[in-house]
Amino acid sequence: MSDSNVREHLEEKHERNREQRIEGIKRWVEYIESHPPETWGPQQNAVVNDQLEAAQDVQTSASHQQHVKDVAAEILDVSDESDDRSK
């Protein structure tokens, strides 16, 4: 397989992965719009906690762990702002 074929194969794979992620996000949005936060909130927290634990298990650097915490805090801030606006 030539370098250009490998590159094309990887680009196709990345595009498929991207499309699958987008479809997964769309399904999640449909789910959270049709279920109360009391249902999906704990589920989402469990997923995030599992991801954090997995990251810790592979012994990621302290700076990466801090980055993940910062991103999570930013997401919560945006979510809180959105909740405040919808009231």
User: Half-sphere exposure (CA, 13 Å, Cβ side) for 23?
Assistant: 6
Q: Residue 35: is its pLDDT beyond 70?
A: yes
Single pTM value for the model: 0.51
pLDDT tens-digit map of 11-30: 999 999 999 999 999 999 99
Cα–Cα distance measured from residue 65 to residue 47, given in angstroms and rounded to the nearest whole number = 16
User: What residue spans define the domains of the chain?
Assistant: 1-34, 37-87
Averaged confidence pLDDT in the chain: 86
Q: Residue 56: is its pLDDT beyond 90?
A: no
